[in-house]
Structure 1
Amino acid sequence: MSDGKKHRSHLPMPNTEKPSFIAYDAKDPDSKFPPIEQLRPPRGAPNVLLILIDDAGFGSSSAFGGPCQTPAAEKLAEEGLKYNRFHTTALCSPTRQALLTGRNHHSAGMGGITEIATGAPGYCSVLPNSMSPLAKTLKLNGYSTAQFGKCHEVPVWQTSSAGPFDAWPTGGGGFEYFYGFIGGEANQWYPTLFEGTTPIEVKKTPEEGYHLMEDLADKANGWISQQKALASDKPFFVYFAPGATHAPHHVPKEWADKYKGQFDQGWDKLREETLARQKRLGVVSPDCQLTAPNSEVPAWDSVPEDMKPVLRRQMEVYAGFMEYTDYHIGRVIDGLKKLGVYEDTLIYYIIGDNGASAEGGVNGCFNEMSYFNMLQLYETPEYLTERLDKLGGPESYNHFSAAWALAMNTPYQWTKQVASHWGGTRNGTIVSWPNGIKAKNELRMQFSHVIDVAPTILEAAGIPQPVSVDGIQQDPIEGTSMLYSFNEEQAPDRHETQYFEMFGNRGIYHKGWTAVTKHRTPWAPMGAEVPAFDDDIWELYEPGDWSQANDVAKTNPQKLLELQRLWLIEATRYKVLPLDDRMIEKINPDTAGRPVLVKGKTQLLFGGMGRLSENCVLNLKNKSHSVTAEIVVPEKGAEGVIISQGANIGGWVLYAKDGKLKYCYNWGGLKLFMVESADRIPAGEHQVRMEFAYDGGGMGKGGMATLFIDGQKVGEGRIDATLAMIFSADDGCDVGEDSGAAISPDYPPGHNSFNGKVKGVLLSIAEDEGEGHQVDPALAIQMALARQ
């Protein structure tokens, strides 16, 4: 059927038609068949480039008055529109799920990040199949689709190479091509990457100039060029979400050095300078007030002088990282211009999936994992000062101080995770579409939310919201198209009501009014006490209060009550209830109620398996355990990694060095514990084993590591402390190598594969250890299966 007659509400559409007349002979004049039609969107549908950067506050980018130079964003704004009342959900996975579906994050099952999913419908991390992702809807209407960068929407029990891949970009996500990482963050120097669902190796090293941001831009430009070369009449949908500027703040040194001395004044003065620039740009109201300093972080003048150089460098590194990120985004946009498709491309450049992150704690950190492992006390001023020049480089896994995050959210209160206040949810956004938007370099002040992007793109493409997809009736999109505001500056708001919730931090917007309550502080310890929900103190802000600076709850209690009631109605409508502020219980899958990939107390891994996230590997933390490997040693002697888990920021590795068996436990990059065999491993087939006897008495305690070759004890050593919660958010477990940043200094990153053969490795929690410090290889598989 012709394009104009297609019924696009039920997807996929029929791809063939039954002829009304069938002749015996094709030469019969009545034998007529229409030419085979290629699926295409409605005429005039634009290309779409959707850019989402990470952990960037409203007051960070120079396009919105911030100190971090973003010339690509500024240039795009000159050719399009700035939206200064665009909002996110205050956290990454929820924002991304909402962005790609047009539904509120709880409606789409993503009330938190995937790692803390529970059995509650609004928090399960499983996207209902009644909510077709935008990319899938576009693909089924004839778009070419590709995603580059971060995907943090896959349920953690589905992140391995065993699948299922329903929630992966190229599985059920609707993308025909994916190049990026699965999870919350990536080591920008040594990322764990997938092409489609296949793990791939990065061929360059940081010393050779590798950085993930450049890699992603190269891949995006290459894919777009190929797509236009082969199917020039077919529009594309590219989702470019690089994971920058999320921690770790990794950037080439020369980019950070551009900002030397620019933050010597400290965060308090920086907030004042930023607000002044914002007023000059007009991205805040002329009478906007700077919100009061946060009492939970120190004033800059009270910071000890010996700590200030570290803190200044943290901000220099972050600013360099943002400018470097923007530079490569500019390369992608310039690529569209070189191909001659820029004019007909609808571009969204969303500067942050939430506000700036305060997860670095009050002092910031050299290793972000110290925050999650409750080790930040060890990152003393002396420790940080010794590593000042390494911040941002391959040896670091750094994050800046929460005070810098607050400054990056100027003029608003609070940060990422705090969905109650604009500091956590208001993100500057730029929209450009030369052939579809007449206005240039104009400001749009209509209230909008991340759920509004999907319906905007569908309306711009002339594609209806689907009624059914794959035979499943679809829930209505909950966002409001922003297209009405593209060419009408004074158009009244259409998105008049929006709830917010994250970790019990709650807010409601309605026709200019906001009622909010902050429940949990982002940098508080994981087990910190929080008040009962009914004891939370609510604040009320009037429509003219741009920055939520003047609380009028006491003078207008009736309006506050009205909005609190409205929040409860919206929370019920969108699956926010029951509220859940537990943290430790949600990290533990047993108490959270989510599935686990690895069941039982043993796991058998085989040679060649790798890039296994911590959710895909038997959890050996805080308990006695063993690691047993069957290996074949060449005549020249054993060398290289047998099995590893983690990275230079924390982990463990069993390997051979100069023919001897070694075990290294890397305690958060703070200290290395080494155990080595007295003798070399003989040539031939052997069983090597490490037994760890945990001290007990709580989490993160030490123990004794003992090495065995063919059941005979060959070495032992004390491990004084272990990591309680996590090794790495990016580097996983590898058999036969240590991919990414090296755990032990005994071998280099890359080129550390075992020089013989690793036939298999059995991980076992104490009660399943073999007798006589040896495991019968013939029974290993049987043992593993019996525990499933």
Structure 2
Amino acid sequence: MGPFDHWPTPGNGMEHFFGFIGGETNQWYPALYEGTRPVEPDRTPEEGYHFMADMTDKAIDWARSQKSLMPDKPFFMYFAPGATHAPHHVPTEWADRYKGAFDQGWDAVRAETLARQKASGTVPENTDLTARSELIPAWEETDPQMRPVLAREMEVYAGFLSYADHHVGRLVDAIEELGELDNTLIYYIIGDNGASAEGTMQGSLNESMLLNQIPLETPEYMREHIADLGTPRAYNHYAIGWAHAMCAPFQWTKQAASHWGGTRNATLVHWPARITDAGGLRSQFTHVIDVAATVLEAAGLPEPVQVHGVTQEPMHGTSMVYTFDDAGAPERHETQYFELVCNRGIYHKGWSAVTMHKVPWLSAAEMGHPVLDDDTWELYDGSTDFSQAHNLAAEHPEKLRELQRLFLIQAARFNVLPLDDRSAERFNAERAGRPELVQGKSQQLYPGMVRLSENSVLNLKNKSHTVTAKITVPEGGARGVLIAQGGAFGGWSLYLHEGVLTYCYNLLGVQRFTVRAGSPLPAGTYEVAAAFTYDGGGMGKGGEVLLSADGEPVARGRVEQTQPFIFSLDETVDVGSETGTPVSDDYGARGNAFTGTLHWVRLDAGGDDHDHEADPAHRMTIAMSRQ
């Protein structure tokens, strides 16, 4: 609804946008937007659809059209796939290419990875493998019966990365066919700012179980569903041990901005017309903020001083162009701070000082509510210790103090201060002073309103509520979805099945509670409703469901348990049909639109809200998992 003066709308960064706008999306049933308009895939997974292939096709089509119609105009493309962020979705044959490749476990894989890195010259020969945290079990400590599941998680991930790389190759080939490859600067940055350690110690078939704190995934369940990993039947994530292995040879993972395991990524730069040292390696320190400055210098464009009349803060990045011709050029990006949830680090002229304040997968309560002043700082000399394996804090206390002071100077300069180690409180809009889109206890929606994010509609979790729809059933009856929230991995839906009013509550894709009227609705206009009476006594409890038509009861039933925190990371609320995966097995992902006339749908929330009982630290976990 606007204002349309920011990304991704035209004229504000990009002229065209296609993709998803959340932190992640289902690769088989993605939540897609073209500009600000929601769009749906043209095929199902069974018909060969996968988002990575679709995104690549769209990018190739755009590049071809641009060069065909305006051949003299240079193009800029930001190609940001969901791969390999969770969920790890890939055609089974790609995962099967890696069968047996990870049976040796994550400890062995870390050592093998470092050996390959040394052989390729991408890390110094004297690089040591950092120690695995005691918080992460050794492979030999895992349950032998679970190891096939754990290995399959990694086979799926590896297949997903290969599949993504294949499609990036298609895009590069298309640029070459256009005759533009030699004079196109390509950055290929691989990684999720450190691999994600948000998949628990055993991994998951459905991330939402972790976020809702409903431990339905027993080891037996994981073994029974091993074949579902990577397929449309799962929304999977690998175990923490694999995340750590994917950050080899460094310590820690994503969210640990203090250490290289949480920040450092492999990067390829390709520009044959300008870079003559094909296959060459560069070791000067660079940061992602340097990419924009590099692109501007490469294109011969000045840094913008004003945009739409607004004076811009000078860019903080340093162009990397100076490294293209000279592998030994003196480093220009000499200092860089890092901070996330008070995990802090500072790099300066080869040295780094770092401190871990919060372990990514532990809450503040589990860590004993650490105090910032009690954090232990570590010191590393990058000239001799590429992987941050040898802490020199005790040997060089003056150097450590120098870098600690420098961190504070940089933190003050770039608005990191004041340091704030609150977690969920910062994501609470009311406490943080951010506006909220949805307020009050009632919201009316209309047909055609689809792909509404969870934050765009009234929150009905952990409270009594009523969903009412005004409909007209034609002669011969009607079928289809009136309103649905979430999808096959958790949500609820009110719909007509073969003319019969039906309500389905899908608990994390494991159990479906269905309440159905006894007979089809005859032709006519009705106000149909599903009234949910919440049990109370905490979050995620069950409740009684009453279905009615024009106030007359037509069915009663029970939902034994509900999702307390989130329905989905990417699925949405849809009125008049359901996009993405279906909540109920009564209808499919296609052809589920209501065949009668839907006038409106109203959501009404009761006053028995239990959301205040949520653990603030868990809200933080949910927020960080969306990144």
| TM-score, structure 1 normalization | 0.76
Counterpart for residue 356 of structure 1: 195
Q: Give yes or no for contact 1:626–1:765 (8 Å, CA) kept in 2.
A: yes
CA deviation map 1:401-439 (0-9, x unaligned) = 010010000000011111000001000000011111111
CA distance, structure 2, for counterparts of residue 204 and residue 682 of structure 1: 34
Counterpart for residue 79 of structure 1: none
The 5 Å alignment of 1:37-116 reads none
Indicate the SS of the match to 1:715: strand
CA distance, structure 2, for counterparts of residue 690 and residue 347 of structure 1: 53
**CA spacing shift, 1:172–1:721, aligned 2, 3 Å:** farther
Q: Give yes or no for contact 1:496–1:511 (8 Å, CA) kept in 2.
A: yes
Counterpart for residue 472 of structure 2: 632
Counterpart for residue 711 of structure 1: 551
For residue 496 of structure 1, the aligned residue among 334, 345, 364 is 334
Indicate the SS of the match to 1:345: coil
- What is the deviation of 1:472? 1.5
For residue 357 of structure 2, the aligned residue among 516, 519, 539 is 519
Establish whether residue 198 from structure 1 lines up as the match of residue 37 from structure 2. Answer: yes
Moved more, 187-196 or 664-673: 664-673
Counterpart for residue 486 of structure 1: 324
CA distance, structure 2, for counterparts of residue 562 and residue 660 of structure 1: 73
CA distance, structure 1, for counterparts of residue 558 and residue 278 of structure 2: 66
Counterpart for residue 483 of structure 2: 643
Moved more, 329-338 or 556-565: 556-565
| Consecutive aligned runs of 4 or more in structure 1 exceeding 6 Å deviation | none
Counterpart for residue 228 of structure 2: 390
Establish whether residue 593 from structure 1 lines up as the match of residue 410 from structure 2. Answer: no
Establish whether residue 506 from structure 1 lines up as the match of residue 357 from structure 2. Answer: no
The 5 Å alignment of 1:611-690 reads 611-690=451-530
CA distance, structure 1, for counterparts of residue 403 and residue 331 of structure 2: 19
- What is the deviation of 1:305? 1.2
Q: Which amino acid aligns with 2:391?
A: D
Counterpart for residue 622 of structure 2: none
- What is the deviation of 1:582? 2.9
Q: Give yes or no for contact 2:26–2:87 (8 Å, CA) kept in 1.
A: yes
- What is the deviation of 1:526? 7.8
- What is the deviation of 1:577? 1.9
The 5 Å alignment of 1:303-342 reads 303-342=142-181
Q: Give yes or no for contact 1:362–1:523 (8 Å, CA) kept in 2.
A: no
Counterpart for residue 347 of structure 1: 186
CA deviation map 1:5-29 (0-9, x unaligned) = xxxxxxxxxxxxxxxxxxxxxxxxx
CA distance, structure 2, for counterparts of residue 164 and residue 627 of structure 1: 30
For residue 219 of structure 2, the aligned residue among 373, 381, 385 is 381
Structure with more relative contact order (C-alpha pairs < 8 Å, separation 6 or more): 1
CA distance, structure 2, for counterparts of residue 477 and residue 400 of structure 1: 37
CA deviation map 1:480-536 (0-9, x unaligned) = 000000110101110010000111111111111111111112222586453011121
CA deviation map 1:203-249 (0-9, x unaligned) = 10000000000001100111100100011111000110011111000
Q: Which amino acid aligns with 2:408?
A: L
Establish whether residue 177 from structure 1 lines up as the match of residue 16 from structure 2. Answer: yes
CA distance, structure 2, for counterparts of residue 727 and residue 192 of structure 1: 14
- What is the deviation of 1:164? 2.3
Moved more, 287-296 or 538-547: 538-547
- What is the deviation of 1:171? 4.3
Counterpart for residue 470 of structure 1: 308
Establish whether residue 558 from structure 1 lines up as the match of residue 412 from structure 2. Answer: no
Indicate the SS of the match to 2:526: strand
CA distance, structure 2, for counterparts of residue 595 and residue 527 of structure 1: 29
- What is the deviation of 1:767? 4.8
Q: Which amino acid aligns with 2:573?
A: C
CA deviation map 1:557-602 (0-9, x unaligned) = 2221221111111111111122233333234322332211112111
- What is the deviation of 1:197? 1.1
The 5 Å alignment of 1:691-706 reads 691-706=531-546
Q: Give yes or no for contact 1:497–1:511 (8 Å, CA) kept in 2.
A: yes
CA distance, structure 2, for counterparts of residue 594 and residue 403 of structure 1: 37
Counterpart for residue 59 of structure 1: none
Counterpart for residue 573 of structure 2: 733
- What is the deviation of 1:750? 1.5
Indicate the SS of the match to 1:378: coil
| TM-score, structure 2 normalization | 0.95
For residue 268 of structure 1, the aligned residue among 76, 101, 107 is 107
For residue 460 of structure 1, the aligned residue among 298, 302, 306 is 298
Establish whether residue 281 from structure 1 lines up as the match of residue 120 from structure 2. Answer: yes
Q: Give yes or no for contact 2:463–2:607 (8 Å, CA) kept in 1.
A: no
Counterpart for residue 772 of structure 1: none
Counterpart for residue 615 of structure 2: none
Q: Give yes or no for contact 2:10–2:16 (8 Å, CA) kept in 1.
A: no
The count of corresponding residues between Structure 1 and Structure 2 is 607
Establish whether residue 370 from structure 1 lines up as the match of residue 183 from structure 2. Answer: no
Moved more, 307-316 or 672-681: 672-681
- What is the deviation of 1:172? 5.8
Q: Give yes or no for contact 1:179–1:194 (8 Å, CA) kept in 2.
A: yes
Counterpart for residue 546 of structure 1: 386
Q: Give yes or no for contact 1:607–1:757 (8 Å, CA) kept in 2.
A: no
Q: Give yes or no for contact 1:527–1:583 (8 Å, CA) kept in 2.
A: no
- What is the deviation of 1:666? 1.0
Percent identity reads 58
Q: Give yes or no for contact 1:650–1:728 (8 Å, CA) kept in 2.
A: yes
CA deviation map 1:752-774 (0-9, x unaligned) = 11111211001111159xxxxxx
CA distance, structure 2, for counterparts of residue 587 and residue 476 of structure 1: 29
Counterpart for residue 446 of structure 2: 606
**CA spacing shift, 1:166–1:698, aligned 2, 3 Å:** farther
CA distance, structure 1, for counterparts of residue 510 and residue 436 of structure 2: 30
CA distance, structure 2, for counterparts of residue 236 and residue 450 of structure 1: 21
Q: Which amino acid aligns with 1:318?
A: Y
CA distance, structure 2, for counterparts of residue 620 and residue 527 of structure 1: 28
CA distance, structure 1, for counterparts of residue 401 and residue 534 of structure 2: 53
Q: Which amino acid aligns with 2:240?
A: A
Moved more, 670-679 or 221-230: 670-679
